[in-house]
């Protein structure tokens, strides 16, 4: 931890900022006025480098038109592979095991269509009940497409307390009826970081393929997917990776599976030197790129060129270190400043189990979130009682955290939240 003894003063927060080796990256982002942005686990802020990368790509379109596919500083034809190479170190993958393409749920459909091969008794998919609901929708629909009843063939590991999933409970469900496992790296509500290495090893010991949804960890937590022998993974890039709203998704495929035909083939998954032959026989790329389907959304990918430059400079291990320090500091402040006001911390306290955000529970969470926004703090609400607060390593300061908790305390003392209804906005 960055400090050995906690001090609740603003001066202490300023001292922590002075010692922060990543502090200067804050100047790279558009942080407006006195706004304290703590919703980077939903949508990251725009950086100047991401902006410039997008503007450069627009300029390439202006100057080269269709020739931008092969000309310009970053030819569009190779953009998905280039970004895959840049992303690979953040998740511990080989450069050709990662591709940037489509979106999270589309990539999940593609991966399940590719890796779910029911045979004999092995016809079921194992997931967990606390995962992001979109993943469940995709899994259910894939089962229906194969003629299976999701109520019988989608097995969900239960939570003992509504916050966390115990790895032992997942492992107990790895029976000889399971054909595929899909789990999150981090639970999106509580921020619990699952033991990916252990779960992968236990699945393989039983002959089961396993994949992970890394949406809430990519860019915040280092992974070692190749070393851990993870079969596949998928994630978005608009949260901690700061690619912007609707930013492209990404996926990882272990190179041992490069010989698999994609479940849903499309022309952009062709081998690059054969792609424009436009033959009726599909010749898949001999890497993760084979799982691409359609023409890439170039402008949704371009900001990543700038954003990922910063991650290369900063280093994902340094990002993780500061993220843990920020969340620990936030929890210490919350305990000191608003104890007895009805709050409970609903995320793991241990570093090895905690992701990049703090989950603060309160029965009046929705109206408290509205009051926070009115006071210049942007949180994230999850029904029925959760305030997610994500201090992001590249642009959140320790003083930001101190200010946010002071505002939370003032809201509760002055009962500012009571003027709002205790229900969410259209977008939570």
Domains of the chain and any CATH numbers:
10-30+315-413 (3.90.1150.10), 51-313 (3.40.640.10)
Q: Give the single-character DSSP code of 256.
A: G
Q: Nearest-CA neighbor of 95 among 209, 223, 226? A: 226
208-236 core/surface letters (b: 16 or more CB in 10 A; e: else): bbbbbbbbbbbbbbbbebbebebbbbbbb
Q: Give the single-character DSSP code of 135.
A: H
Binding site annotation covers 185? Answer: no
Whether residue 377 contacts residue 239, with contact meaning beta carbons closer than 8 Å, is answered with: no
Whether residue 293 contacts residue 265, with contact meaning beta carbons closer than 8 Å, is answered with: yes
- Encode pLDDT of 363-384 as tens digits: 999 999 999 999 999 999 999 9
Binding site annotation covers 105? Answer: yes
Whether residue 125 contacts residue 180, with contact meaning beta carbons closer than 8 Å, is answered with: yes
Say what percent of the chain tops pLDDT 70.
Answer: 99
| Burial environment of residue 18 by CB neighbours within 10 A (0 to 12, 13 to 18, 19 or more) | exposed
Does residue 300 or residue 277 have the better pLDDT? Answer: 300
Binding site annotation covers 213? Answer: yes
Whether residue 219 contacts residue 145, with contact meaning beta carbons closer than 8 Å, is answered with: no
The average confidence (pLDDT) of the chain is 97
Binding site annotation covers 169? Answer: no
Cβ contacts of residue 204 below 8 Å, gap of 6+?
210, 229
Helix (H) or strand (E) holding 289: none
Mean pLDDT of all residues in 269-297? 95
pLDDT at 33 over 90: no
- Tell me what pLDDT residue 191 has: 98
- Tell me what pLDDT residue 264 has: 98
- Encode pLDDT of 234-249 as tens digits: 999 999 999 999 999 9
- Encode pLDDT of 152-175 as tens digits: 999 999 999 999 999 999 999 999
250-253/232-235 β-pairing: antiparallel
Helical residues (DSSP H) of 315-361, grouped into ranges: 316-337
- Tell me what pLDDT residue 426 has: 64
147-186 core/surface letters (b: 16 or more CB in 10 A; e: else): ebeeeebbbbbebeeebbbebeebbebbeebbbbbbbbbb
- Tell me what pLDDT residue 1 has: 66
Q: Nearest-CA neighbor of 26 among 322, 305, 388? A: 322
- Tell me what pLDDT residue 408 has: 98
The two three-digit tokens of residue 12, written as one number: 């202490």
Binding site annotation covers 7? Answer: no
Binding site annotation covers 116? Answer: no
Binding site annotation covers 134? Answer: yes
Mean pLDDT of all residues in 335-342? 97
Label residue 28 by pLDDT band (50, 70, 90).
very high
Whether residue 113 contacts residue 144, with contact meaning beta carbons closer than 8 Å, is answered with: no
Binding site annotation covers 133? Answer: yes
């Amino acid at each position: 931890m960055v400090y050995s003894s906690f001090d609740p003063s603003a001066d202490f927060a300023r001292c922590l900022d002075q010692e922060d080796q990543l502090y200067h990256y804050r100047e790279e982002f558009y942080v407006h006025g006195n706004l304290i942005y703590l919703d980077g686990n939903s949508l990251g802020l725009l950086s100047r480098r991401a902006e410039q990368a997008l503007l450069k790509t627009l300029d390439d379109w202006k100057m080269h038109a269709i020739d931008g596919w092969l000309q310009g500083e970053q030819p569009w034809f190779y953009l998905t592979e280039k970004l895959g190479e840049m992303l690979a170190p953040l998740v511990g993958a080989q450069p050709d095991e990662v591709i940037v393409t489509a979106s999270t749920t589309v990539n999940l459909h593609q991966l399940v269509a590719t890796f779910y091969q029911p045979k004999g008794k092995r016809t079921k998919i194992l997931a967990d009940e606390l995962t992001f609901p979109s993943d469940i929708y995709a899994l259910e629909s894939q089962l229906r497409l194969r003629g299976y009843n999701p109520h019988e063939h989608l097995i969900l590991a239960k939570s003992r307390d509504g916050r966390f999933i115990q790895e032992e409970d997942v492992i107990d469900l790895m029976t000889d009826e399971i054909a595929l496992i899909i789990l999150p790296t981090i639970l999106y509500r509580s921020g619990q970081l699952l033991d990916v290495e252990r779960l992968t090893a236990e699945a393989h010991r039983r002959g089961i393929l396993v994949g992970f949804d890394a949406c809430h960890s990519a860019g915040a937590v280092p992974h070692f997917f190749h070393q851990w022998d993870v079969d596949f993974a998928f994630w978005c890039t608009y949260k901690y990776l700061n690619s912007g709203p609707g930013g492209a998704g990404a996926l990882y495929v272990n190179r041992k599976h490069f010989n698999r035909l994609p479940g849903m083939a499309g022309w952009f998954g062709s081998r690059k030197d054969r792609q424009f032959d436009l033959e009726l026989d599909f010749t898949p790329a001999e890497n993760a790129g084979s799982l691409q389907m359609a023409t890439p959304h170039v402008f949704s990918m371009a900001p990543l060129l700038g954003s990922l430059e910063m991650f290369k400079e900063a280093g994902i291990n340094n990002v993780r270190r500061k993220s843990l320090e920020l969340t620990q500091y936030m929890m210490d402040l919350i305990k000191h400043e608003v104890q007895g006001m009805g709050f409970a911390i609903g995320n793991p306290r241990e570093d090895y189990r905690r992701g990049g955000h703090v989950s603060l529970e309160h029965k009046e969470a929705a109206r408290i979130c509205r009051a926070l926004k009115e006071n210049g703090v942007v949180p994230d609400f999850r029904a029925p009682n959760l305030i997610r607060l994500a201090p992001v390593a590249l642009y959140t300061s320790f003083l930001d955290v101190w200010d946010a908790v002071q505002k939370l305390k003032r809201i509760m003392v002055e009962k500012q939240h009571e003027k709002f209804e205790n229900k969410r906005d259209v977008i939570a």
